[in-house]
Amino acid sequence: MAIERILVTGHLGFIASAFCEAYAGTYEIVGVDFGGWGSMEKNLMEGVADFRADIADGQRMEEILDETRPEAILNFAAESHVDRSNEDDRSFWRSNVMGTRILALQARQRGLRMVQVSTDEVYGDAKNTERAWTETDKMQPKNPYSVTKAAAEMLLRVYAEGGKESLNVVITRGANTIGPRQFPEKAVPKAIWCFTHDRPFPLFRTPARRMWMHVRDHVDGIEAALREGKRGEVYNLAPGAASEEITEKVIQKVRELVGRGEIQKVDDRPNYDLRYWMDASKAKKELSWEAQRDLKETLQDTAEWYLANMDWLEEAWKSIPG
């Protein structure tokens, strides 16, 4: 069945809005967003139908699906910040697990394709790992956020069993993603705000390594999974080895692009993973996907967007409690 109309959850957030921007001309997109933390009205893309709903509200989601009749669901919606999950994880369980369950049950009942957007954090910490993670490696999440994402994956894979009545689901696990419209609770946009406001950027004392991926590369991988992903399979989406860098050096590069700024070392957060490291060769082989942008281009494009859209950054920053 050709996919023409898709329901995109969390369309006012970071990665989902990038998907809508890139593919609103390819698909008819129905956006569903609760309008909570990390959602921005300015992220609404032209040509996207705009519905407001909590994905954990089964009745409301059923009404929207009855009205719009998509052929597929792309679930981007999630509570995603580790620090907040350490403080209070209740909303994480509601959105990331119960919301995913509601969508999956509706997709299974209606025979819809579903893509679950997950994260490299479900693997845990690769600080003592001798090779990059592959999709068959054990999930060992270390914080409430990644536990909820892993739990959602496990539930979906149960629903994917069962022959003709099974859920047609594909799961993607994305590397550390940066780019335009990322909420400034995350490192790079937070650094840009701090540096442009003469505030020190708080950097954890212990060096951590990440694979840094441009959001456009990430959404291209998700779209490839929608089209080409095998039913019931998981795909790592990560750039090449050259994209891996310790956070301090990335923040230093951001400071150079901004032209000023101070970095201040602070104590590590609880459940602090020191390295995420994924092998994306399966996605290259089965989805014909690989990241196109190197770290230098990714950081430059990201910094240029924020510096040209300081009104967006200011509005987002003011919405962060405290």
Catalytic residue among 21, 120, 153, 244: 120
Structural domains of the chain, ranges and CATH numbers in brackets: 5-182+213-242+271-293 (3.40.50.720)
Instruction: Copy the structure tokens of residue 143.
Output: 């914080």
Higher per-residue pLDDT: 53 or 38: 53
- Tens digit of pLDDT for each residue in 96-135? 999 999 999 999 999 999 999 999 999 999 998 889 999 9
The rounded distance, in Å, linking the Cα atoms of 14 and 40 is 9
Residue 319 has pLDDT above 90, yes or no: no
Predicted confidence at residue 102, as pLDDT, reads: 97
How do 72-75 and 176-178 pair as beta strands?
unpaired
pLDDT of res. 1: 61
Is-catalytic flag, 120?
A: yes
Query: Does residue 273 carry a catalytic annotation?
Result: no
Looking at the predicted structure, is the pLDDT value of residue 82 above 80? no
β-bridge pairing 209-214 and 244-246:
antiparallel
> What pLDDT score was predicted for residue 36?
79
Residue 277 pLDDT more than 70?
Answer: yes
Q: In what order do the strands lie in the sheet with 209-214?
A: 176-178, 209-214, 244-246
- Model confidence at 35: pLDDT above 90: no
Taking the C-alpha atoms of residue 223 and residue 209, their distance in angstroms, rounded to an integer, is 27
Mean pLDDT of 226-254: 96
Average predicted confidence (pLDDT) for the chain: 94
Of 21, 54, 79, 121, catalytic: 121
What pairing do the DSSP bridges indicate for beta strands 113-119 and 28-33?
A: unpaired
**pLDDT tier for residue 85 given thresholds of 50, 70 and 90:** confident
- The question of whether 121 is a catalytic residue gets the answer yes
- How deeply is 290 buried, as exposed, middle or buried, from its count of CB atoms within 10 A (0-12, 13-18, 19+)? middle
Strands (E), the chain: 5-9, 28-33, 49-52, 72-75, 113-119, 168-174, 176-178, 201-204, 209-214, 234-237, 244-246, 263-266
Q: Given the structure tokens 């892993």, which residue do they identify?
A: 150
pLDDT band, residue 207 (cuts 50/70/90)? very high
Quote the pTM value: 0.96
Where residue 2 falls among pLDDT bands split at 50, 70, 90?
A: confident
Tell me if 104 sits within 8 A of 169, measured CB to CB: yes
Query: Residues 6 or more apart from 163 whose CB is under 8 A from it?
Result: none
State yes or no: pLDDT of 89 exceeds 90.
no
- What is the distance between the alpha carbons of residues 199 and 260, in angstroms, rounded to a whole number? 10
Q: Which of 157-166, 241-250, 309-318 has the lowest mean pLDDT?
A: 157-166
DSSP 57: -
Instruction: Characterize the bridge pairing of strands 28-33 and 5-9.
Output: parallel
